[in-house]
Amino acid sequence: MSLSYRQPGVVLTDRHFTVPLDHADPGGETIELYAREAVASDKADQELPWLLYLQGGPGFGANRFVGRQAWLDRALQEYRVLLLDQRGTGRSTPVNRQTLPLRGGPAAQADHLARFRADSIVRDCETIRPQLTGGAPWTTLGQSFGGFCTLTYLSFFPEGLETSVITGGLPSLDAHADDVYRAAYPRIERKVAAHYDRYPMDVERVRRIAEHLLDRETVLPNGYRLTVEAFQSLGLMLGMSDGSHRLHFLLEEAFVRTPAGAELSDAFQEQVQGLLSYAANPLYALIHEPVYGQGARPTAWAAERVRAEFPQFDAAKALAGDTPVLFTGETVHPWVFETDPSLRSLKEAADLLAARTDWQPLYDPARLAVNEVPVVAAVYHDDMYVDAVHSLRTARAVRGLRTWVTDEFEHDGLRAGAPRVLDRLLALARDEA
């Protein structure tokens, strides 16, 4: 039974779907998917085309908008929008430390987690599409990892797509995870340098925090072990439009004077644990590297291995000299399954995923080369999360794909630049721009 309710300017309807856990076994175990339908209040009774929103991640539920926030306002001018919680996220059958033991031991958990990549997600979409559209194709809007899913969709089910819009999410079709991170670390270093240029006082603040963490064990109130490597991973913020500013404000409140000397303040620790904990989105950590897996070559903790090729990210070496301590960014490392209490029980399963050698292909280059679906993509020229060189190479490999390359926005341009970004891309798809 669907439940509808209202927010300012929009009618929302809760949608629930049942799909196979393994689409190769359609008569086997099923899982539940949740999605929130959104339609403009003044168009609620009209027949409108559907737009499916594919969230970034992996491992995040769809945006929880209030009213007609961000890009949703532009989309609602002409679409009925489906905000899908991809399998394992949000209100869809959850996958986390509490539920995975129901699968059995680490090997069974790893096998289960392997079914939560883009190939399964787009098969979910094709299962639910006829129930909503009556079989008509729909438009997709893929942000970040949602763009990865879009390329998989175009590879295997193009008949389900009317138009595809991608923002900050054109992946390489054939790069191994090693290639992805080998390209990522120089971009991350540029973002850190730009932050220090903007806030030069943060160079010393970061060194002081790093020295403090190297000198003593620090456990945050939620049980998270704040190592210097974990602290460096706060650089993930630097890929967003306001991230540098938010990081600066965080750092300036790091220390407080106590009878025992300078200590990390409660306020700082509270904010840091919220930023670093994977309790709300464990799939991000678990399948972050497996989303690049194709074929027999394991991902094998690529970000950790490749980091060794960039010694400038070693905090201890930086502190021993006079160079700034660098943050890291769009990377997940095996140690997070030791520092984060929400992940510790899943370490063995994560290691098995990293060693896996039977990944199915996620893209079909031959089919993409003869693509007939209108596809447009915003490519942010120095996106910290998705390499622009990889994106443009893929754009050339997809027949008819049009790009808008811009340095006006960071990775969150769809949010920060709304409604302009979506408006520009829809016009581009229609040959109106």
- Is residue 56 classed as helix, strand or coil in its secondary structure? coil
pLDDT, tens only, 153-191: 999 999 999 999 999 999 999 999 999 999 999 999 999
Residue 312 DSSP one-character state:
G
Per the residue annotation, which of 197, 322, 358, 431 is the catalytic one? 358
Q: Which amino acid is at 167?
A: T
**pTM recorded for the entire structure:** 0.97
pLDDT at residue 246 in the model: 98
Q: How confident is the model at residue 372 (pLDDT cuts 50, 70, 90)?
A: very high
Percentage of residues in the chain having pLDDT higher than 70:
100
pLDDT at residue 418 in the model: 83
Span 295-311, average pLDDT: 97
Q: How many helices (H) and strands (E) does the chain have?
A: 18, 11
Of 51, 47, 108, 107, the residue nearest 82 (C-alpha): 51
pLDDT, tens only, 48-68: 999 999 999 999 999 999 999
pLDDT at residue 1 in the model: 62
Domains in the chain: boundaries: 3-174+363-429, 177-355
pLDDT at residue 75 in the model: 98
- Pair type for strands 161-167 and 138-143: parallel
Per the residue annotation, which of 119, 244, 411, 412 is the catalytic one? 411
In angstroms, rounded to a whole number, what is the distance separating the alpha carbons of residues 188 and 384?
6
What value does the CA radius of gyration of the chain take, rounded to a whole number of Å? 22
pLDDT, tens only, 114-156: 999 999 999 999 999 999 999 999 999 999 999 999 999 999 9
pLDDT at residue 280 in the model: 96
pLDDT, tens only, 233-243: 999 999 999 99
DSSP per residue, 372-411? -S-EEEEEETT-SSS-HHHHHHHHHHSTT-EEEEESS--T
Element (H, E) at 249: helix 243-251
pLDDT at residue 300 in the model: 98
The phi, psi pair for 423, rounded to 5°, reads -60, -45
Per the residue annotation, which of 144, 172, 244, 342 is the catalytic one? 144
Q: Which amino acid is at 138?
A: W
In CATH, which superfamily holds the domain spanning 3-174+363-429? Answer: Alpha/Beta hydrolase fold, catalytic domain (3.40.50.1820)
| Whether the Cβ atoms of residue 41 and residue 6 lie closer than 8 Å to each other | yes
Residue 144 annotated in active site: yes
User: Would the pLDDT of 28 be above 90?
Assistant: yes
Span 306-329, average pLDDT: 97
Of 225, 271, 276, the residue nearest 250 (C-alpha): 271
* Half-sphere exposure in the Cβ direction for 26 (13 Å, CA): 3
User: Would the pLDDT of 2 be above 90?
Assistant: no
In angstroms, rounded to a whole number, what is the distance separating the alpha carbons of residues 273 and 285?
15
User: Would the pLDDT of 255 be above 70?
Assistant: yes
